[in-house]
Structure 1
Amino acid sequence: MHFQHSTDLWQDFPHLVPGVIFTRGITHDATVDRPVTEFSAAAAERLTASQESGLPEVQAWRRAFSAMGLKPTQYRCASESLLRRFRKEGSLPRIHPLIDLCNAASLAYGIPVGVFDASRISGNLEVRYADGDEAYATFSGGTERPDPREVIFADDARRAHARRWTNRQSGYSAVRDSTSEVLIVVEGLHETAPADVPKLIAALAEEMRTHWPVTPQTAVLTQASPRFVC
């Protein structure tokens, strides 16, 4: 399987910095309390100085959503949504240890982190503009069709594993207790993303090695080298 962003998406968003992690051997019984607490504390400290809407990482995604014709306060990137809930409630619900870890890291860095059950992806996965006939499975079991030119994560079976880029993932490839093989995608558009995304990828990979018997494969992609093979 390979993962990449389409050529026209790179042309429209040349400042994009994607980071990727792939590994096998994830289980649902790991305990990740320590890193979740540490990442959450870092996020809480950042939020004492600014609400999530003022963070440069979030502002960059708001500009991107506006450029795509989406209202940023109606469709928020995943990290902004998590930060907003965390600021209001003081914590995030526990779902699965890997999801809990990635959500907490997303809070700390302010950067969207997508986690996919790789076994549910047919063939390759590309972040691209939708044609409009792709199938997106909601968490409630329904099926939606993305709007033409909407940015989606699409596999070779024309299934959309995320809609509106970093706004909403699909229930079809969501991590569950039976998940073993995962693809994690981190995407930054802000000025310091070239430094921040590698740090976030490294931090997640280190915590994964600590809490699971895995050897994560990682990469930071560029417009010149846009493909990740796993």
Structure 2
Amino acid sequence: MKYTVDPWIFECNPNIIFAIVIGKGLKNSETSESDTLKLEAAEHLLRERVSMDVIKTHPDFLVYREALTNVGINPNKFMNSVEAMGKRVIKGDRLPRINALVDLCNKLSLENVISLGGHDLADIEDDLMVRKTIEGDEFLPFGSELFEQVPPGEVVFTSGSKIQTRQWLWRQSELGKMTLETKAVFFQLVGFKGEHLHKIQGTVKALEHLIEDRFEGAYETFYVDANHNEIEFDY
């Protein structure tokens, strides 16, 4: 299977870098007490580091807002997932506990302020791509059984004509959600070169460790950037 990022994305954001981790043979479970404590610690750490009045200008969140703006997405109307999650936590709410895979990915995302999405490969049949939508692309909203048509020109992450994430980093589909039955996952992390590079590299290492030690699986890792915009993987 291929994963490709449209070169136009890099023309708009030359310093962006994608990390792709393919998790295989995973043994997901309900969230344990230990998992919960780790997520709670990440929530507490973020509240200590960032206040609500500066979240939009904080360097860790600002890079995502600028990346969205650079491809024509309004970051206020279509807030990237890591900022939306961060806002909820900083306001004092706790994230819903779903299952170990989801909760520990959220823990890594909050801890490092990194966009991290997990997609169950059992739901993915066609090559993956970050690109603008074309006629015929469709999206299955979370919790829905009815696909909705998406007009051409929207930046999305898609598998063939089935959109996995709308507005690039905004909202994931019902297709690909990680459940207790999930065994293989396409993890997509989005970060930036330069002073932010260590953040995505550290998050990848932590994710690899989780896959092996917590979920007793194996992994394969790839990086995608302006000089290498396509990968192929097996699962």
TM-score, normalised to structure 2, is 0.88
Instruction: Tell me the percent identity.
Output: 22
The amino acid that maps onto 1:148 is: P
Could you say which residue in structure 2 is the equivalent of 1:155?
A: 159
2:86 corresponds to 1:83: yes
Find the partner of 1:129 among 132, 143, 148: 132
The reply on whether 1:144 has 2:148 as its aligned counterpart is: yes
Q: For residue 124 of structure 1, report the CA deviation from its aligned partner.
A: 1.1
Partners of 2:42 and 2:97 lie apart in 1 by: 18
Cα RMSD after superposing both structures: 2.1
* Structure 1 portions without partners, runs of 5+: none
Change (3 A) 1:47 1:147: farther
State how far apart, in whole Å, the 2-side matches of 1:190 and 1:90 are: 31
Other-structure match for 1:21: 21
Gapped runs of 5+ residues in structure 2?
Answer: none
**Distance in 1 of aligned mates of 2:147 and 2:92:** 31
Counterpart of 1:6? 6
Pair 32,154 (structure 1): closer, same or farther in 2 beyond 3 Å: same
**CA shift at 1:43, angstroms?**
4.8
Pick closer, same or farther for the CA change 1:33–1:223 going to 2, 3 Å: farther
Q: Is the 8 A contact 1:32 1:101 kept in 2?
A: no
Q: Confirm or deny: 8 A CA contact 1:26 1:179 kept in the other structure.
A: yes
Please show how residues 1-230 of structure 1 align to structure 2 within 5 Å: 1-29=1-29, 31=31, 33-34=33-34, 37-38=37-38, 40-51=40-51, 52-139=55-142, 140-156=144-160, 158-189=161-192, 191-230=194-233
Distance 1:191 1:81, change over 3 A: farther
Q: TM-score, normalised by structure 1?
A: 0.90
Aligned residue type for 2:186: L
Q: 2 CA distance for matches of 1:112 and 1:100?
A: 14
Cα distance, 1:85 vs structure 2: 1.2
Residue 126 of structure 1 deviates from its aligned partner by: 0.6
Q: How many residues align?
A: 229
Shift of 1:210: 0.9
Q: Give the secondary-structure state (helix, strand or coil) at the position aligned to 1:71.
A: coil
**Compared CA separation, residues 88 and 203, structure 1 to 2 (3 A):** same
Residue range with higher mean Cα deviation, 55-64 or 75-84: 55-64
- Give the letter for the 1:14 counterpart: P
CA pair 50-118 structure 1, distance change in 2 beyond 3 A? same
Structure 1, residues 85-118: CA drift from partner, whole Å, max 9, x if none? 1122342111121111111110111111111011
Q: Work out whether residues 47 and 87 of structure 1, in 8 Å CA contact, stay in contact via their aligned partners in 2.
A: yes
Where 1:76 maps in the other structure, the secondary structure is: coil
Provide closer, same or farther for how the CA distance between residues 225 and 171 of structure 1 changes in structure 2, counting only shifts above 3 A: same
